[in-house]
Chain A
Amino acid sequence: MQQTAQIGAMPAEFRELENLVQGWSLATEHERRERRATAEFPELRAYYDVVGPRMRDIAAHLDAYPMGILPAPQKSLLQLALMYMEVAIAVEFYGQPELRDGFPRHRWVISPR
């Protein structure tokens, strides 16, 4: 499984998200899902509350960059936004990190992309 390397600081307008890069800016769906599943719910709630209000700004910022390889700070920002989607469903739908009555996640293989 692909490992997430330490990648750069935030673009200036997103400095308040900088302390989230360590621990939440993850490169693969597998890593993001594991992160959510093993988090405490209050952590997810806090992430949701901080990142959620900035999601439109993040998309607008990244949309100035062409598709392809992003510079490191923008890559971190993208990964935080993808992580937000993973976190949001737990906060808005489940009220807990993991799905209730779901198939065991260790038996569900997410192919690397």
Chain B
Amino acid sequence: MSADESKSFDHYYTPEHPELGTGPVSIEPYVSPEYFELERRCVFRRSWLLFGHVSELPNAGDYKVRDVAVFGTSIIVVRGTDGVVRAFHNVCRHRGNRLVFDNGRGNAPAFVCRMHGWAYGTDGRLRGVPEQDRFFDLDKKTCGLPPVSMEIWNGFVFIHAEAEPAQSLREYLGPLAIDMDGYPFERMRVVAEYTANLKANWKTVLNIFQEAYHVATVHRNVVPTQADVKGGSARFVHFRLHGQHRSASLPMNPSFQRSPTELLAGEFSLGFSTGTPNDPAQAWPGMNPAGIRDFAFDLNVVFPSSVIDPAQGWFFSYEFWPASVDETQFVTKIYFEEPKSWGQRIGQEFTIVQVRDGLLEDLAVLEPNQAAMASGAIDSVILSDQELAIRHQHHVIDSILRTARSNSEAATTAKLHR
């Protein structure tokens, strides 16, 4: 272990952040519709959210549509014939019809409204209006698709609800971007994408992915011993709190015995448990900043709801799209480099299968978790040192909402005294 020998498996991280406390935290954020409405207004509408990756839109006319319930809109991200990626509200300027009805990806030379045939270029400009001479003073130049704030960092497409976000994406990511800048996210491509609609709060879903305490129990079938670093448990090390964002690194079990197919896949390709990237000289940049041995992957939570987890030769991302206090669409993607040989492609497949089945273990426990929290039987949850990321998330959101509440009370008081 090169840097920070002390911050190993036996280290306690929470006491280094006394502002976070060590006590139980309220269950209200998981079950209260009022809390969710505040989150929607004060967190989601003021944050950059991961929408996709440039490899999903390689060609002119490639587009991706998604309902973003927390923004109350549907958004199209499209690569124009000029190669530029742009984001628009999925709404026709004429009488407000949806332009593209279905969520998902596609390719189109233009978007034509299904109600009256108004046609828009992939750059969002209004190109054609049937019977245009029947309108009054219609200036097509001012009737393009309404834009949505969008920026790209290292291949990742992020969107923002505000027309003029207070911070650029780069400023928003801050030290997290600096940690990950060197990683070649942009030249990698999505090789697998999964979606599940869950009856659970978005944080209930996210939480299991920002702690490793569950691994020994939840993942007993798919990764039985890979991450067991200390007598039956996996542990994140080197927690890094970057303002609202947070990171940590996950080591592999150094004495983990690979199965015949893990060894075979490791001959063909880098992957999850198939290789042992121990040589620091071979390590990819932009991950494992502390240089821990037997590195598995980094956790990087981009506040509030985007996760980018880089590993050696591959990475994965999570998006959590809330629809209400207890409904979340979970989207996860696995990324690899374009394989240079068919053998490499075959080797990648084992990681895809293993990570996917592992996710199915995670998801299986979340709806029961939500239902039990909503029962009213308990009013708080108890967090260990290894669940620091969850504690940090509570602290950050509570602070934002407290400020918003006191501002709104101040405004109300000011109104009363006017």
Which A residues form the contact surface with B (CB < 8 A)?
A: 29, 33, 52, 55-56, 58-60, 62-63, 65, 67, 70, 78, 81-82, 84-86, 88-89, 92-94, 99-103, 105, 107-111, 113
In the complex, chain B residues whose CB is within 8 Å of the CB of A102:
357, 360-361, 364
**Residues of A with C-beta under 8 A to B83:** none
A111 touching B341, Cβ below 8 Å: no
**B345: min CB distance to chain A, Å:** 7
**Contacts of A110 on B, CB cut-off 8 Å?**
192-194, 356
Tell me the smallest distance from the CB of B110 to a CB of chain A, in Å. Answer: 24
Please give the number of chain B residues whose Cβ is less than 8 angstroms from any Cβ of chain A in the complex: 42
Is B138 part of the binding interface, using a Cβ–Cβ cutoff of 8 Å?
A: no
User: In whole angstroms, what is the CA distance A36 to B345 when docked?
Assistant: 20
Contact B364 A85 (CB under 8 A): no
Contact indicator A88/B350 (Cβ below 8 Å): yes
Contacts of A105 in B (CB 8 A): 360
**A113 to B350 Cα, complex, angstroms:** 17
Chain B positions 53 through 89: 1 when the CB is less than 8 Å from some CB of chain A, otherwise 0: 0000000000000000000000000000000000000
Interface string of B95-125 (1 = CB under 8 A from A): 0000000001100000000000000000000
Contact A103 B221 (CB under 8 A): no
B67 to chain A, nearest CB (A): 15
* Interfacial residues, chain B to chain A (CB-CB below 8 A): 104-105, 190-197, 221-222, 224, 259-261, 264-265, 267-268, 338-343, 345-347, 349-350, 352-354, 356-357, 359-364
| Chain B residue at minimal CB-CB distance from A48 | B261
CA–CA, A85 to B222, complex, Å? 14
Give chain B nearest CB distance to A7 CB in angstroms: 16
Residue from the list B192, B341, B342, B361 in contact with A113, Cβ < 8 A: B192
